[in-house]
Structure 1
Amino acid sequence: MSLKEELLQDMKAAMKAKEAGKTALSVIRMVRSAIRNTEIDGKCELDDAGVGAVIAKEMKQRKESLAEFEKAGRSDLVEETKAEMAVLEKYMPKQLTADEIRQIVNDAVAGQSGLKMGDVMKLVMPKVKGKADGKLVSQIVREILQNN
């Protein structure tokens, strides 16, 4: 079952759940809308990788919002955002741990010297796309380059 089909099935289940599925229903509708808009803008049908990228973008937006809400002391919005993120996590690919990312970066820079941050990121990002947060990858690459 593709991600789009899974979203549709889960949306139907959330509709049937009435009040209990309210958050899931709104999040799934937002994601499906974002997917549809991306397809219209790109004039193409998204595959699972494309859908995954849209979901990752939605998750990133919520993480940024969560940080702002916590800074502002808005506990009501923090809880709502955390609930939305829990719904989105179901559709996200398994995220790499910091150690796994560190290993990928070490493999990329092994035997090479004089690499700059951008060079390493170009080697690493295709391997971790959708499976790791870009900020974390950037931080690990910087850390490894400083130690070399």
Structure 2
Amino acid sequence: MSTGLASQISDAVKTAMRAHDSLRLGTLRLLQAAIKQKAVDERVEPDDAAILAIIEKQVKQRRESIAAFESAGRTDSANQERAEMDILKEFLPQGASPEEIAAAIEAAFAQAASQGQQGGAAMGAIMAQLKKALAGRADMAAVSAQVRTKLNG
């Protein structure tokens, strides 16, 4: 793990160890394990973009766990997942504002229309463009819901 983001995570692990912050340390070690697993699986050193994708996936998992824990009435577990999600979000780029997201959606729709794509068939092309434009800066599930609403009129 020699990329900039990987070294930031490594430094954060060391800081958490020195501070005896077990929640932060555990969360960051799980993240490092996921990065290492990707490196082993693909036999390549993950770059910052790949690490961002891993972090996004882990944030999404925490978000889903929070919903499941809250529906089961387990607020203590939901609060722990929320704390872990906050730690992971520290390594993501600054979130996109609602205006930036709306502008990116409009641009993606314009590009799809210029290529003759309409309706449901355009969904994949639009989401591919938005994923590039908003990578790590927006909840893609929420963006997808906005795109679907706009496609359905």
How high is the TM-score relative to the length of structure 1? 0.89
Question: Cα–Cα, structure 1 residues 142 and 43, in superposed 2: closer, same or farther, change >3 Å?
Answer: same
Quote how far apart the aligned CAs of 1:75 are. Answer: 1.2
Quote how far apart the aligned CAs of 1:29 are. Answer: 0.3
Is 97-106 or 37-46 further displaced after alignment?
Answer: 97-106
The reply to whether residue 115 of structure 1 matches residue 118 of structure 2 is yes
2: distance between equivalents of 1:22 and 1:40?
Answer: 26
Corresponding residue of 1:72 = 72
Aligned-CA RMSD value:
1.7
2: distance between equivalents of 1:50 and 1:114?
Answer: 29
Corresponding residue of 2:133 = 127
Quote how far apart the aligned CAs of 1:110 are. Answer: 2.5
The reply to whether residue 33 of structure 1 matches residue 36 of structure 2 is no
Letter in 1 for 2:34: A
Q: What pairs up with 1:71-110 in 2 under 5 angstroms? A: 71-110=71-110
2: distance between equivalents of 1:32 and 1:107?
Answer: 36
Corresponding residue of 1:60 = 60
Percent identity of equivalent pairs? 34
Is 102-111 or 133-142 further displaced after alignment?
Answer: 102-111
Match of 1:110, SS state, is helix
Residues 54-113 of structure 1 show CA distances to partners (whole Å, capped at 9, x for unaligned) of 111111100000000000000110111111111111111122233322211112223726
Gaps of 5+ in 2: none
2: distance between equivalents of 1:104 and 1:59?
Answer: 22
Quote how far apart the aligned CAs of 1:14 are. Answer: 0.8
Of residues 17, 29, 41, the one that matches 1:15 is: 17
Is 26-35 or 100-109 further displaced after alignment?
Answer: 100-109
Question: Cα–Cα, structure 1 residues 28 and 13, in superposed 2: closer, same or farther, change >3 Å?
Answer: same
Letter in 1 for 2:8: E
Is 33-42 or 49-58 further displaced after alignment?
Answer: 49-58
Quote how far apart the aligned CAs of 1:133 are. Answer: 1.7
Gaps of 5+ in 1: none
Corresponding residue of 2:8 = 6
1: distance between equivalents of 2:33 and 2:131?
Answer: 27
How high is the TM-score relative to the length of structure 2? 0.86
2: distance between equivalents of 1:124 and 1:89?
Answer: 20
